[in-house]
Amino acid sequence: MGKFNDDTNFIFADPSFLAGFASVIDLGGALIEYNFSRSPQEADTRAIASDWVIIGKDIKSAVTEFEQKKEK
């Protein structure tokens, strides 16, 4: 399956400022770069896994916040 980011927009490339500036001039779309998956199933698997990682982080954050409030 490969590596995935724990971000919801992992399908899109994360260009630098210079690449963004150059894309304004690139009328033919030659500089556009997307992260891709070999199949729709792989894309779905990566998206679901990324969603669960983010959900886990949200739960961990909520538990930490609850514990801090409980101590006060």
pLDDT category, 55, cuts 50, 70, 90?
A: very high
Partner residues linked to 6 by β-bridges: none
pLDDT band at 10; cut points 50, 70, 90: low
Helix (H, G, I), strand (E, B) or coil at 12: strand
Longest dimension (CA), the chain: 59
Whether residue 11 is predicted with pLDDT greater than 50 in this model: the reply is yes
